[in-house]
Every structure is written in C-alpha cells, then in structure tokens.
Chain A
Amino acid sequence: MIMAASQSNGPILRLECLEKRFGGVAALQGIDYEVPGGVIQGVIGPNGAGKTTLFNCISGMIEPSKGRISFEGYRIEGLAPHKIARFGVSRTFQHVALFKKMTVLENVMLGRHPRTRRGFLAAGFRLPGMRAEEEHIRKKAFEYLDFVRLAHLAGLDAGTLPLGKQKMLEIARALATEPRLILLDEPAGGLNMRETEELGDLIQEIKKLCVTVLLVEHDMNLIMDISDRILVLDFGKVLASGTPAEIKENSAVVEAYLGMESGGILM
C-alpha cells in the first residue's frame, strides 16, 4: 500500500492568523502554526478550546472568518470539502460518521472516490472500463481493511459493528482516499485500554506510510505516548507548543488544562 509521497519540503500544513467567529463568539483567535510533514501532531485543550473548529476549518466544512490555511503550499481555506479531500486531506469524526446501512467494504470503497473517475453515464450505460475500475476499487479497499484488520468483516453492515471496530473502519475509509494528511478527531473516545493501545499502534503504522497525522485527543496517555509534537489550544488561541516532554513541564498548560482533565494521568 503505497501512499503518494509529499510534494514539498516545507511544512505540510501552515495556519496563518486563523480566526473563526460565530456571531459574537470567537472560536479561533489568530492561530499561527506550522506542521512539518511526516509527524504525529497532537492537539489538546479543554472543551471549547477550538479543536473541532480547527479541524472543521482545515477539512473545509467551515470557512474561516480570517486567515490562511496552506496545505503543501496551496491555499485551501474556504474550499469545498470534496476539493480538499482530493488535494490529500482526510479525516475522521468525533461521533463516528460511517454509512451505517452500507457494508464495511462499501464504506472503504467509498473512500476511493476521489481517486477514481467513472461517472453517471459510464455507470448507467455500463461502458467498458467500468468493471475494471470496480474491481480495482474493491481490491484496494480490501488492502485498507487488512491494514486495520477488519477484512474478515467485509460483508457486514457497518452499523452492526461495535464502537471500537467502527472507529477503525472510519480510519480505513479515510486512508482509502490516499491522504497525505489525516485528521483524527478523538479516535480513542469510548475505547477501552486494549483498544486504545491498538489504536496507538495503528497510528504509528500510519506515520510509517508517510502520512502526517493531526490528532485531537483527551486521552493524555495516548497523546503523550505517540505524538512527536503537541499543540495546546485554549480559548481559541495557541497556549503552548512543543514536544510532549516540554508540554508536560509547561506551567501554563498544567494550570489551564490539568485541573479540567479527567481520566488522564500525566507521568
């Protein structure tokens, strides 16, 4: 399973003066940050800090009020989500957004959409090349299912899976779009310790595929374990950033976040 290699040498994602206001509420206030390619970038912060808004801006679901988002040097702020997906940015969702009535395999096959072409007419008239493309999509989808170890459940309806496996499926679907940047929105939410460990291993495997990972999480163990760098948000602003070790020592972070964090143990 070969992912397309990153095109540029600069940061894979650059946020400049990023702002988002909802009416009178400023969800993001002037975020400036760069994410280098090939790392696992953790994003933490108390509830309401703006993490989900940040993800929604990057993936195109919301248009920022001000500022710029550059992916591999290209400006992507304000673009439609499907265009951003085509560029190579994919994501998972905090509340699993699988296509529950479609099978496990079909969910991942859908992820191949931006990398395939045949449209309405080709499908309706069963033009030559359709069958070959379908076969190719199916084969690729199985590869991604193998990667997350769900291939044996390919024929089941996605809605019947337990939560842990649903989260894995969502990651497989996002990977099927062949992203170079993947946004994982609280993937460990609702997982037990064993599942969280497996998730951590999986994310490390993703990093080996040269896919940059942006990871929002509340599980401090997971984040501190696997992240190369951590960005701390608070009230829509950058509170601190650095390696996990640096963040643990940072008194501002400890003060703002540690008191509100439940279930996470800083070591």
Chain B
Amino acid sequence: MHDFETRPCIGVDFLGTDFFQYAISGLTIGAIYAMVAIGYNAIYSVTEIINFAQGEFVMLGGLFAVFFAGTLRLPLYAAFLCAVVLTGCIGLAMDRLIIERARDTSVLSLIIITLALSIILKGGAMLWWGKDPYSLPPFSAGGPIRIAGAVIQPQALWIIGICALIIVGLTLFFRKSIYGQAMLACANNAGAARLAGIPVGHMVLLSFILSALIGAAAGVIITPVSMMEYDRGALLGLKGFGAAALGGLGQFFGALVAGVILGLAESFCAGYLSSGYKDAVALVVLLLALFLKPEGLFGSGEAARLKKY
C-alpha cells in the first residue's frame, strides 16, 4: 500500500503532480499573454496609444499560418515566417493609412479608431475563414513528454522557447540597435527626440510593425495547442492587456512577469476551482490592477498620476 499525503479538505492533491501540470500549462499560456502584453507596450511607450486591435494581430498570425501551411502547403517554418511578415504588413498599413491620420485627435477618438480597426479585422477574418476553428500541426513530432508525473506537450516547450527568444531579441534590439534606442528615446520624450533628429513618425510605424510581428508569432505558436478562430482576438487581447496593466504600461520586464503571473493564476483556477470561470480570472486581475495599482507592479506612480490631467 502506498503512503498517501494527507489531503486538505478541498479534496485536491495540492502539491502533487497536478500542481506541476497546471504550472507548466500556466507558464505556457503566460508566455503568450506576456507576448501580447509586450505588443501593447511597444506601441504604448512610443505613442501612448492603447492598440485595441492587438489581439487581432494574434488571431491573424494563427490564421495566416493555417492558410500558408494548410492551403498553400508550405513547410511549417516558412508558414510561420510568412504569417508573421504578412501580419506585420497589416500593422504597417494600419499605421500608415489610419493611425498617422488620426494622431492628433483626442484620446477618445483614438480608442474608437483602434476599436473599429479590431472589428474590421475580425469581420474580415470571419468572411475569409468563417466561424470554424482551425489548427496547425505541432512544430515537432512526437508524443507528450513525461516529467515528474506531469504530461507536457512538446509544443509547450516550443512556446516557452520562442517566447524567451523573442524577449532576448527585443532586449538586444533596444540596447544595441540604433533603431531600438531611437524608439526608447521617443518613448521617453517625443519632442526632444524629434529635435535630436529622430523621425518620430517612423518610430511609430516601427512600433506598430514590431507589435504586429510579436502578436502574430504568439498566434502561430499557440494555434497547434488550442486552435484559432476568427473571434479569439478579443479575449486574448483583453487578457494580454491585463498583463500589460499589471506589469505597468511600458515596462517590458513587467509585461513578462505579469504575463506569467496571469497565466499561472488562470491555470491554477481552472485546475482547482472551476474551468468555466477561468477566463474571468485574468479579467478580474485586470480590474484589480487598474483599480488598486494603475501604474502596475513596475511602473511609476508619478507617470500614472501625472497623466491624470
């Protein structure tokens, strides 16, 4: 007979293999939220615009990859690249055609404009792909891996790995590349950056493209795990914003930490409490973050409050 651990009264194997299982899936989805959050931060830090269409970038990345891999039968890595690039082009078009025209309007108008863009992208996706969910084959073949009694899909490792790669890439970009540093300068003080000769308009465009690329990458890597459909963008975007707000708008490291926290919270809630309410977890965290600490875990109170006026 085995020695069982004493179970707490909720009758759940609290620190057993379930915990590890939920932790891994939480980390996986947390990586996605972190990537979406970074997309928000990229645009927000340069322009102070919240791009309500961020979630649609994720959705488009996944569905474009399905198109390239499924319909055009390209190899997966090519489909990945094409999908990401194509979504990047959409981000470019969004900035050049619409946002540029509207940058001097009120905060209210900008919110409505990005909201309208998100609806247009969703509507377009529905027309092209219909309402069905689509899937991609996992990046590497082979069955689930067993570690410490938990079952891990190899795709989960791909997700965490690619996310880490992107984080490293971005960090290098902002520290070493002249474009990255120019973007940071705009984020800090657009007026001064302009005087220093930095083309702020180009930096805004770059931020939109970057944000679209990252979002699309997130969409491609999550599709093999949880499929992708035309209306997934809204919820993903909202949860990603929750991570961005929790971490502090504009704080890249904060986005990463907050994304992981959110993913873990959601996973544990789904596992231990109720799977029906799991979507609500991230949203409740979003509301709590906005109300209790609007500057986020890593943001500065001054910035959030100064902007009050």
Contact = CB atoms under 8 A, between A and B. Distances in A.
Interface string B278-309: 00000000000000000000000010010001
A136 to B, nearest CB: 31
Interface in A232-253: none
Interface range on chain B (Cβ under 8 Å from partner): under 10
Interface in B2-26: none
Contacts, number: 3
A63 B309 CA distance: 12
A61 interface: yes
Interface in B59-114: none
Contacts of B302: 23
Contacts of A61: 309
B193 to A, nearest CB: 16
A55 to B, nearest CB: 14
A59 to B, nearest CB: 12
Contacts of A23: 302
Nearest to A21: B302
Contacts of B305: 63
A153 B94 CA distance: 48
A23 B309 CA distance: 17
Interface in A35-69: 61, 63
A118 to B, nearest CB: 27
A23 B189 CA distance: 12
A147 B302 CA distance: 41
Nearest to B188: A23
A61 B309 CA distance: 8
Contacts of A63: 305
A61 B302 CA distance: 13
A226 B309 CA distance: 34
Interface string B155-199: 000000000000000000000000000000000000000000000
Interface in A61-81: 61, 63
A61 B305 CA distance: 11
A261 to B, nearest CB: 26
Pairs of residues from A and B, 3 with the lowest C-beta to C-beta distance, nearest first: A61-B309, A63-B305, A23-B302
3 contacts: A23-B302, A61-B309, A63-B305
